[in-house]
Amino acid sequence: MNTRLSVNINKVATLRNARGGNMPNVVQVAKDCERFGAQGITVHPRPDGRHIKYQDVYDLKAIVTTEFNIEGYPSASFMDLVTEVVPTQVTLVPDPPEAITSNAGWDTLANREFLTDIIARLHSKGIRTSIFVNADPKMVAGAKATGTDRVELYTESYAANYLKDREAAIRDFIVAAQEAERQQIDLNAGHDLSLVNLKFFQEQIPNLKEVSIGHALICDALYLGLEETIHQYLQQLQ
């Protein structure tokens, strides 16, 4: 099984918002990503609209033909949005509205009741769910107890330590992935994965269903072009 590539297009929206108007066009970029082989589109709308705006989510829902993954903290407004749009998957992240980017996974033990209620609401709409967690088997097991379909491993520490000692960097993620297999819960991963470190990660985590990659992929596209960049990421996952 090849791991699926979902392209996070938040950074495209950031560039658009820097000047106003509609260039680059977020909807067209999503179409192009799919045309070039991406198997999913990911967005993370935040309340301040500093990159993906809520209207973008509605616009993208109308055109995405692969899997549409919406990340975010389950505030009242976020939950209203996703239960109306009904994407393929909602990935729950614990970051507060002012966070620049996601920087930690959920404590699924301390937040079990809260997450269980959120998961049930999303499931009632037929939405697949994923919970963003650190590479900790206790957090994976805690996520299973909420009823979620998947967990997404937060891979920042792996990426930060990959060039120093990749075997040490991957160790906790292998343990977490093994726990996911024991718990019979599907596995995603994301954050700072790149052309440098992606192939080794995927090779060591054989039960990996999906990676969500945005920042590094869009940076690479500035040099390689979007089509070639997506092809190269897909090659890393084969």
Longest CA pairwise span in the chain (Å)? 49
| Nearby residues of 99 by Cβ (< 8 Å), 6 or more positions away | none
Exactly one of 34, 44, 51, 67 is catalytic; name it: 44
Exactly one of 34, 51, 67, 71 is catalytic; name it: 71
71 has catalytic annotation: yes
Say how far apart CA 40 and CA 29 lie, in whole Å: 12
Q: Are 126 and 165 in contact (CB under 8 A)?
A: no
Q: Are 126 and 96 in contact (CB under 8 A)?
A: no
Residue type, 225: G
| H-helix segments, the chain | 10-19, 26-35, 54-61, 76-85, 112-123, 137-146, 156-161, 166-183, 198-204, 215-224, 226-236
Exactly one of 51, 152, 179, 191 is catalytic; name it: 191
34 has catalytic annotation: no
Say whether 209 sits in a helix, a strand or coil.
strand
Both tokens assigned to 182:
């024991």
Q: Is 25 exposed, middle or buried (0-12, 13-18, 19+ CB in 10 A)?
A: middle
191 has catalytic annotation: yes
Q: How many residues does the structure list for the chain?
A: 238
Which residues are marked as active site?
A: 44, 71, 191
